[in-house]
A and B are shown apart, each in its own frame.
Chain A
Amino acid sequence: MSSWPILSLVTFLPLVGALFCLVVNGPKEAVDRNCRSVALVTSIVTFLISLLLWVRFDVTRPGFQFEEKLDWVPALGIGYHMGIDGISLFFVLLSTLLTPICILSSWEAVHVRVKEYMVAFLVLETFMVGMFCALDLALFYVFFEGVLIPMFLIIGVWGGARRVYAAFKFFLYTLLGSVLMLLAIITIYWQLGTTDLPTAMEQLNLPFIWQCWLWLAFFASFAVKVPMWPVHTWLPDAHVEAPTAGSVILAGVLLKMGGYGFLRLSIPLLPEATQYFAPLIFGLSVVAVIYTSLVALVQEDMKKLIAYSSVAHMGVVTIGAFILNIQGVQGSLFLMLSHGIVSAALFLCVGVVYDRMHTHEIAVFGGLVHRMPRYAFTFLLFTLASIGLPGLSGFVGEFLVLLGAFKANTWVATLATTGLILGAAYALWLYRQIIFGELTKDSLKAILDMNRREVAVFLPLVLLTVWMGIYPNSFLDPMAASVDKLVGDYQAAIKLARTAALP
């Protein structure tokens, strides 16, 4: 469709910007300023180019588009294969959108090692985009793991007081899962003699017991990323210690890698095991929704509360992915997208007051509406989106998932729907503690409302949240064909396995 490698361009352009940053030299002031500008311009250009993907995306085609294929290690059958379909398209856009927003939000907040900070974000962007585009298991693995390194550094270097503990916890959790995923990928390679993903989707046909082992290996990696209960405990710590922009990427994109992994690898490659283990996913997800919502109710730190709410929302995402009907999967994708924007925005909201007060303890704040009406409005909008108010983005995904889930299993749907009540409770409680009440604390008397730069950071997210809530079809339409294919292929595979099992 396109004559030039647009996906590679989007993937590696940030790396070019990173190289630029690296060679910048001079007095600290100038270096900082230049690095910020280079990073911002690079990421904005990358975002604009990535918009072309959406514009030129053919919504009628279920398969991969914008494909690029080069030999990488031909002797081993490993190729550089990139491409996107309706499932990955918006994740690429989400990554390219959030990166410039992160860079802009750290404009004044980061003073130390600005150059390295910008380099880390640009490298991170390359890995994220690459991961969502990779169509070769080895390449996927490289990008998937690559993401860890800059993220580890962002938390460990620019984080809060307990940043080292949090960074190691993050690393330990995710690495443990990744090792198992590598084993699974090697196994698939031994079976097929190639790591090409579309080939594997067509040809991989493992015996049931093998499917189960591989499924568990992938699960170990993706469940940590999502994160699913009970391997979620790294997330609150990582968020609390990470700098604002780190939290934004963590909540906005990194958590989606788990859900994306399930949809891209586990379900199409291992359909029978998927069916076998779906109840496990439902069980863990339902526990996640209720358990973490209750935990969120009693948090004393803004970031921890939002982190726990993320786990609850991602519980709904995993339910949708494994319900495996069209509404469930589409809802799951949509909810990931919406959560990527809304939770990112909520962390940015925390960042706004953190930059002023240098804490995110809830008890420090109160009555901010008196001094910060613009902030109060923005925070309210995203709080409402987070609790799934119809007309904003959060509702559509949640509604579709639960609608699909009800058809498949009323227990799962009913228990997950309790999140509707608990979610409202903790989110509105947080909002009230921060924003409402009298402004009595001396430390807050001179706090300033959002400045122009901050408004610019939030404006695109506000517009997107409303757009996605009122006209979600802009996003649902491109997903539709690929989701149909995913669900159709899965059901065909299950049917085939059933008929084969009959004597």
Chain B
Amino acid sequence: MDLAIKLIVLLPLVAAAIAGLFCRIIGDRPAQIVTCAALLIAAALSIFVFVRIGFGPENAKLVVVKLFTWMDSGTLAIDWSLRVDTLTAVMFIVVNVVSSMVHVYSVGYMAEDPGIPRFMSYLSLFTFFMLMLVTSDNLVQLFFGWEGVGLASYLLIGFWYDKKSANDAAIKAFIVNRVGDFGFALGIFAVWMLSGSVGFAEIFAKGPDMAHMRIHFLGMDLPALETACLLLFIGAMGKSAQLGLHTWLPDAMEGPTPVSALIHAATMVTAGVFMVVRLSPLFELAPITSAFITLIGGATAFFAATIGITQFDIKKVVAYSTCSQLGYMFFAAGVGSYSAAIFHLMTHGFFKSLLFLCSGSVITCLHHEQDMRKMGGVREKTPQTFVLMWIGTLALSGIGVPYVLGEGIGFAGFYSKDAMIESAYGVHTTVGLIAFWLGTVAAFLTALYSTRLMFMTFYGKYRGDHHTWEHAHESPAVMLLPLYVLGIGAALSGLVAYDWFVGSDWAHFWGTSSIAVKSTGEVLHQAHEVPVWVKLAPLVFALCGIALSYLCYIAMPQLPALVVKRFPGIYALFYNKWYFDEIYDVVFVKPALALGRILWKKGDGATINGLGPDNIAARAQDMAGVLSRFQSGYLYHYAFVMLVGVAGLVTYFMLAS
């Protein structure tokens, strides 16, 4: 077991090192083989670990493998260690299954790229950091993985480094994430100050004590645990692109599509949700912060969906959709339904990576065209992608038939989304209700934009140029095979895993050591008790969304233009992403640069140098000039000065005596 865990985490690192450092010696093909093999082995081992941990007895639900000491300073002691419990085991499945599929897919997708070994190496490196993140046993190793995946994301967004837009997007992603990490770091400091430790076991044990403490933070006297959790959540907001810190995610689509599928849909962006759930024993004791998380999550779910319905870039639609779905996970975590949040994290991992990879398949088919206005009728050329993408779309929209076979039968999102929305209603709090309605309306928008994508891409007549159409073709098997695997996940993972995550087996599956059991149990219980209309609402809203989409893009194609004309203000707001980028540019970026310039030229240049060294040097020279004039060489000058001196002395002595 220990060996399996070590292999799962370290194989991707070894593969990344081989592919990255020796790429010029070994060539493209071996680099692909090494990285894909490492990831497939890791995925297989992950399933083994998942079964052992998830369905093992209670005393075998937590394994901690200590590797070696990281740093010791005074009372601070941090280890490199691998902690595996049910939550980590679930993440193993999500990360390694999606990652291995993305690796295989990339062999086809990147076939003509000159940087194949570098690409494969980065992907594996990313997987390693992600695995370090999910296996961490303390906050600092979590931060290590956290920043590491940020680095991998930076490298992969900017993978095509000749493009200015890709470089810009890469830097933006890193820096916006650093804004979040700023909060995360302060949160770690606060937790350490309060509990004297950074290890999870010790922190959780001190949780109830911390809930009663106060902290002096920036001159304010605040409840300690709430403050610490809020700071940590700022980190999660950055990584998971929540409202306010979401601006990097759409831009991140500059990276190759497999990257978007792996990092910016299935795994890295869910790290924020993972963090909140990992620390759920703390967050459940911080009601104010949890309410804040619920609101931010609900707002993001709605806000991102509004943008999604107006975008034309196929990847941007899916990106905003990701942003929106992450909002769902956060409000579920905010109301205390931690297992539902992770349930959706998992199903989302499958169907969203499926959607991205299908988009990639369409994009390569149409010779790197991403604008949906230049697509249409593509199903003729890519029938398999077409079917698989429908599976992803229906899973995302949460379509299923309720009340059949117990909980109903449907695609993955049907189970997980309902569980989250019912939880939000079930807790009967104001923020819960707000989140419920935002989530339900967002379910309508989700179905609208995702079927809009399907209709614009695959139906109707082709709108692009003739030449591209003639060369359009279905993707090769190496790209389709991963799609089928993920398609199975998107179709069945909800049905299979419902009972484990939120259904009757949940208590046994999660055990007591991985998530906050108490609040999860309460919320799940309440979620099962909600009225029938609440259970049906998301589905009905989603069906309405699909109907409207059908109306707008199949039945009456002239309708969207009329709506845009009727509501130009709202359309502009949505289409321009609520003007976040423009506002940030004016408020933060430009002033920072201007201030830098002022401080440099006026502060360093004019003031410090001007008054300091340059001034002293200039005065010294002046003085030297003055003194040198005295040495004129004329005898009468010297005589005159002497006389003045003598006169002065005489006067002084006369007055003094």
Contact = CB atoms under 8 A, between A and B. Distances in A.
A168 B608 CA distance: 16
Contacts of B68: 471
A390 B599 contact: no
A326 interface: yes
A291 B613 contact: no
Contacts of B162: 367, 436-438
A187 B193 CA distance: 41
A285 to B, nearest CB: 16
B62 to A, nearest CB: 25
A420 B185 contact: yes
Contact of B161 (A326, A420, A437, A470): A437
Interface stretch (B26-34, B211-219, B340-348): B211-219
A248 interface: no
Interface string B299-319: 000000000000000000000
A437 B164 contact: yes
Contact of A390 (B148, B161, B164, B597): B148
Nearest to B162: A438
Contact of A298 (B219, B593, B608): B593
Given A390-B148, A437-B164, A477-B72, A294 B595 contact: yes
Given A234-B613, A296-B596, A421 B182 contact: yes
A411 B218 contact: yes
B494 interface: no
A326 B174 contact: no
A294 B174 CA distance: 17
A436 B182 contact: no
A12 interface: no
B474 interface: no
Contacts of A410: 216-218
Contacts of B592: 294, 297, 422, 425
Interface in B591-628: 592-593, 595-597, 599-600, 603-604, 608-609, 612-613, 616-617
A330 interface: yes
- The winner among B75, B186, B190 for most chain A CB atoms within 10 A is B186
A325 interface: yes
Given A230-B608, A233-B609, A421-B175, A476 B181 contact: no
B74 A326 contact: yes
Interface in A407-444: 407, 410-411, 413-414, 417-418, 420-422, 424-425, 428-429, 432, 435-438
Contacts of A432: 158, 167, 170-171
Contacts of B613: 169, 172-173, 233-234
Contacts of B151: 384, 389
A391 B128 CA distance: 13
A369 to B, nearest CB: 6
A471 B70 contact: yes
Contacts of A425: 171, 175, 592
B192 interface: yes
A399 B140 contact: yes
Given A294-B592, A421-B178, A233 B608 contact: yes
Contacts of A299: 600
A472 interface: yes
A420 B143 CA distance: 13
A331 interface: yes
A473 interface: yes
Given A424-B174, A432-B171, A407 B186 contact: no
Contacts of B217: 410
A344 B297 CA distance: 45
A40 interface: no
B76 interface: yes
A462 to B, nearest CB: 12
Nearest to B155: A380
A473 B144 CA distance: 17
- Mostly, the B contact residues are helix
A407 B76 CA distance: 13
Interface in A449-503: 470-473, 476-477, 480, 484
Given A291-B603, A294-B599, A424 B178 contact: yes
B186 A406 contact: yes
B147 A390 contact: yes
A398 to B, nearest CB: 9
Given A390-B144, A390-B148, A421-B175, A403 B70 contact: no
A400 B74 CA distance: 10
A295 interface: yes
- The winner among A231, A298, A367, A435 for most chain B CB atoms within 10 A is A298
A43 interface: no
Nearest to B192: A403
B143 A390 contact: yes
A391 B144 contact: yes
Contacts of B59: none
Interface in A159-190: 168-169, 172-173
Contacts of A428: 154, 171, 174-175
B131 to A, nearest CB: 14
Contacts of B174: 424, 428
B437 interface: no
A417 B71 CA distance: 20
B171 A472 contact: no
B632 interface: no
A154 interface: no
B268 to A, nearest CB: 16
A211 interface: no
Interface in A314-350: 325-327, 330-331
B189 A403 contact: yes
Contacts of A384: 151
Given A331-B73, A411-B218, A421-B179, A172 B616 contact: yes
- The winner among B178, B186, B609 for most chain A CB atoms within 10 A is B178
B651 interface: no
B504 interface: no
B596 A472 contact: no
B657 interface: no
Contacts of B178: 420-421, 424
Interface string A374-404: 0000000000100001110000100110110
A294 B593 CA distance: 7
Contact of A172 (B70, B216, B593, B617): B617
Contacts of A470: 70, 80
Contacts of A436: 158, 161-162, 167
A391 B612 CA distance: 41
Contacts of B70: 470-473
Nearest to B611: A230
Contacts of B593: 297-298
Interface in B139-191: 140, 143-144, 147-148, 151, 154, 158, 161-162, 164, 167, 170-171, 174-175, 178-179, 181-182, 185-186, 188-190
- The winner among A327, A390, A406 for most chain B CB atoms within 10 A is A390
A230 B616 CA distance: 15
Contacts of A294: 592, 595-596, 599
Contacts of B74: 325-327, 330, 484
Contacts of B600: 295, 298-299
B69 interface: yes
Given A168-B617, A407-B189, A421-B179, 11 more contacts: A172-B616, A173-B613, A291-B603, A296-B596, A326-B74, A327-B73, A327-B74, A391-B148, A417-B185, A422-B592, A472-B70
8 contacts: A234-B613, A295-B596, A325-B74, A331-B73, A414-B186, A424-B178, A436-B162, A437-B164
The list of the 7 closest CB pairs from A to B, nearest first, reads A326-B74, A406-B189, A294-B596, A390-B144, A436-B161, A298-B596, A297-B596
Interface of A: 168-169, 172-173, 230-231, 233-234, 236, 291, 294-299, 325-327, 330-331, 367, 369, 384, 389-391, 396, 399-400, 402-403, 406-407, 410-411, 413-414, 417-418, 420-422, 424-425, 428-429, 432, 435-438, 470-473, 476-477, 480, 484
